[in-house]
Chain A
Amino acid sequence: MLIYTLKRLGVALLVAFAVSMITFTLLRFSGDPAAAMAGEAATEEDISYIRKHYGFDRPLPEQYAKWLGNALQGDFGNSIYLKVPVAGVIAEKAPVTMKLGAFALTFALVLAIPLGVLAAIRPNSIFDRVALTIAVVGQALPSFFFALIMIIFFGVTMRWLPISGSASWKNFIMPSIALGYYATPAIMRLTRAGMLDVLASDYIRTARAKGLRPGVVLFKHALRNAIIPVVSLSAVQLGFMLGGSIVIETIFSLNGLGNLAWLSIQRSDFEMMQAIVLSVATFYILLTFLADLLNAFLDPRIRVG
């Protein structure tokens, strides 16, 4: 187990490293950080001064090495626009996005798992069809469109829910649904498939033969086994949500990383963008790493691979 953990950790670190390098290169090639930093009232001299002072004229690998060196010590540079350390701003905004992600995943799970289980218990029945229809429909609806429809209906027509800001937990209801429902079909299908497999297995048949009540069989035994791949998938989906929250956050004016990314993009705030992409990637890597570990712990066969 330990060796497996170390191997996965090594890979995770390498991936994080690669992501930061690629992002750094892409951003540097797409724009001029010196001009962005100097602001609009700047003269050519100001821009050249900044270029020299901050080392933007050095070769790219050297710039990256410097960034990396600082980053490893926790210094992600200063936001070009806000003029304060990037790390601080990200730490400030990250909780909103995490909250959003957590709520969204919860919504997805609460919807998907029961549906998946129901569909598995009665395959090809009306439940199954309804569940699959929800899955198919859910994946076809663009999330921003869904968000806008909800705003019109629940926010304005019915006035039930607040539509912008992050003042209370109610502000997260619509955004979580808009962000989370896209993960529902995948989770539901996986749950259904896993349940179908497990329910047909010898293990379950033995349990039933032993006379255990169906409810106990279902939850204590079948679901526990079927849930293992769902954990992995949920981690991946959560990672995607954190990365894809930008559209939802801008629509609902939530002050999280997605919104920050959007603003930083508009302001050409390189340092911030680099750090945000890296943060989101790191969350994803961390989530998948933990999911891998959990899987390996629960299912020893995986460790050998």
Chain B
Amino acid sequence: MIKKTFLGAALAVSAITLAAAPVMAGKADNTLNWSTTREIDVALPYYNNTRELVVIGRHAWDNLLFRDTKTFEYKPLLAKSYKWVDNVTMDFVLREDVKFHNGQPMTADDVVATFNHVSNPDSGVLTKKNVSWMKNAEKTGKYSLRLHLKKPFPAALEFLSGPLAIFPANIWATAKKDAAGKPDYGTVAPIGTGPYKITKTTPGVGVTMEINKDYMSGSPKGKPTIEKIVFRTVSDPEAQVAELLTGSLDWIWDIPKDKAEDIKAMGGTTIINAPTMRISYIAMDRADRAKGTPFAKKLVRQAVAHAIDREAIATQLVGGSSKVIHSACFPTQFGCTQEVPQYGYNPGMAKKLLAKAGYPDGFETDIYAYRQREYTEAVIGYLKKIGIKANLKFQQYKALRGKVWEGQAPFHQMTWGSYSINDVSAITSHFFTKGKDDYCRDDEIKGWLDTADTSTDPAVRKENYHRALSKISEELCWLPMFTYTKNYGFTKDLDFTPTADEIPRFFTASWK
């Protein structure tokens, strides 16, 4: 109490503000400065699957379709209209008045070239699930095209309105070669059709976007009003908060619960806690990819499931509307159900299970994580109580992803936002169909998921997803943890509404 009043009073009273003049900040210069603690190395969709790029992707690029944030219906964006010819073929008719940021008009050639490039496995697109359902695209007219799917894929509309940004046809040929002599598509210029254009990228430092004055009219994205949007990496979370409080940053998110509450209590900054579609999960190496790991034993996995008080973590550490989840999906996603085997907090039982598994005195292991290390540290604390000594290996996302893909992370806590796609295929199928992220490696599960992904009958889909999710929870390939909520902090001058898909839309924000 004393400290808070002191801080508040000091801030209010400090007349001598020799703070460095904010670099082009806020309402005064019509520039929105936003920041996260992560770096952007490649500013291109498809070749950077971090959340920061999902956000920038929506601003500088457009998809064929647009998913309304409130009604969830699909509206035209770059495509004027679409039609299912049969369950593996879609026709699109495009708008004729769209220009890329470099002035080039958009035609069917560009869409076709984009889809054919990204669906080609050699193109090295990072999240295969986003593009592997497409077979190929062909031009049917100057502004029309036909898309062929490999198999029926009901979630197609979700993907077409989400991560599938449209690039100019000739852009891929401009890629530079990498260390192994192959084309590195992450090096092409960031040209799109979106309401903002990327005017400057400094890898590891920031990305600047400026308003696209020639943005197509009548777009469901609206017409942006903020002139300039500057993203800057501020790797120190305290510095971020300090900059927010002193005005050199206008918008940050991912503020930990305690800090958010304290900032809110101070007044002067808007703090909003919003739900997200992101979930936290702990993956355990049922398939023994890491060779000889204790997590290959089901009893060990069960012990872990009972050892962690997920409820306490969700309420005390995450806060807001965070909830414990029991299946490997986000509760609102189509196909997701909580009617699967559930595990309650029971450290006594956990110890017994561990002893039964052959570890009466516990064992030592590494646990990998890449964000919100306090959540994983809490997990480590619970594991210690039942005798498992977990050493935290906190790494950068890219490095950890690599380790996971190599099968060298038998025990890791990570998150997945499903690209905010409201369908189980965007998460469960990504992780459990024997791909690089799969530590379950179960043919039955894969079978059910493949069926569900490609059936057009909702009942069949639900049934098969249910079976897959049940077995995943039964086998504890994942211990689903909780849903993430996000704390947003931004200047009082800004009129901004967070959405549950964790994609801040600065193109609909404005100064008050």
Contact = CB atoms under 8 A, between A and B. Distances in A.
A171 B19 contact: no
A161 B248 CA distance: 12
- Summarize A's interface: helix, strand, loop or mixed: loop
Interface string A148-167: 00010001111111111101
Interface in B1-26: 6-7, 10-11, 14, 16-20, 23
Interface string A251-287: 1110100000001001110000000000000000000
Nearest to B402: A40
Contacts of B246: 156, 159, 162
A41 B246 CA distance: 41
Given A40-B402, A50-B179, A160 B16 contact: yes
B18 A160 contact: yes
A151 to B, nearest CB: 7
B403 interface: yes
B203 interface: yes
A82 interface: yes
A162 B23 CA distance: 12
Interface in A161-193: 161-165, 167-168, 170-171
Contact of B401 (A40, A155, A157, A165): A40
Q: Interface range on chain B: under 10, 10 to 19, 20 to 34, or 35 or more? A: 35 or more
A156 B203 contact: no
A37 B399 contact: no
B132 interface: no
A83 B204 CA distance: 13
B180 A157 contact: no
Given A157-B7, A164-B243, A253-B234, A50 B396 contact: no
B96 to A, nearest CB: 38
Nearest to A259: B235
Given A40-B401, A46-B180, A155 B23 contact: no
B242 A151 contact: yes
A39 B42 CA distance: 14
Contacts of B395: 266
A49 interface: yes
A105 interface: no
A38 interface: yes
Nearest to B187: A83
Given A40-B399, A156-B7, A158-B10, A253 B180 contact: no
Contacts of B178: 83
A266 B403 contact: no
A161 B246 CA distance: 10
B371 to A, nearest CB: 14
A162 B180 contact: no
B364 interface: no
B245 A156 contact: yes
Interface string B225-248: 000000000111011001101101
Nearest to B203: A82
Contacts of B203: 82
Contact of A164 (B6, B10, B242): B242
A240 to B, nearest CB: 24
Given A40-B402, A267-B396, A160 B17 contact: yes
A263 to B, nearest CB: 8
Nearest to B20: A162
A198 to B, nearest CB: 40
Given A50-B180, A159-B246, A164 B19 contact: no
Contact of B234 (A50, A83, A155, A164): A164
Contacts of A151: 238, 242
Contacts of B205: 255
Contacts of A39: 398, 402
Contacts of A40: 398-399, 401-403, 405-406
A156 B179 contact: no
A165 B35 CA distance: 13
A171 B242 CA distance: 14
A159 B402 contact: no
Nearest to A170: B20
Quick one: which of A49, A155, A251 has the most chain B CB within 10 A? A155
Contact of B18 (A41, A165, A170, A267): A170
A266 B394 CA distance: 10
B296 to A, nearest CB: 23
A253 B239 contact: yes
B126 interface: yes
Contacts of A168: 20
A49 B180 contact: yes
Contact of A162 (B19, B236, B405): B19
A164 B403 contact: no
Contact of B399 (A54, A157, A164, A267): A267
Nearest to A255: B205
B402 A160 contact: no
B124 interface: yes
A37 B19 contact: no
Contact of A266 (B19, B396, B402): B396
A148 B246 CA distance: 17
A233 B204 CA distance: 37
A168 B22 CA distance: 11
Interface string A38-52: 111110001001100
A162 B14 CA distance: 14
Contacts of A46: 180
B16 to A, nearest CB: 6
Given A160-B17, A170-B18, A251-B236, A38 B179 contact: yes
A81 B11 CA distance: 41
Contact of A163 (B242, B403, B405): B242
A263 B406 CA distance: 23
Quick one: which of A161, A164, A171, A255 has the most chain B CB within 10 A? A164
Given A38-B179, A253-B239, A157 B11 contact: yes
A260 to B, nearest CB: 10
7 contacts: A40-B401, A81-B41, A82-B203, A164-B243, A170-B20, A253-B235, A253-B236
Given A156-B242, A158-B16, A252-B239, 12 more contacts: A40-B402, A41-B124, A53-B179, A151-B238, A157-B14, A163-B238, A163-B242, A164-B234, A164-B236, A168-B20, A250-B236, A253-B239
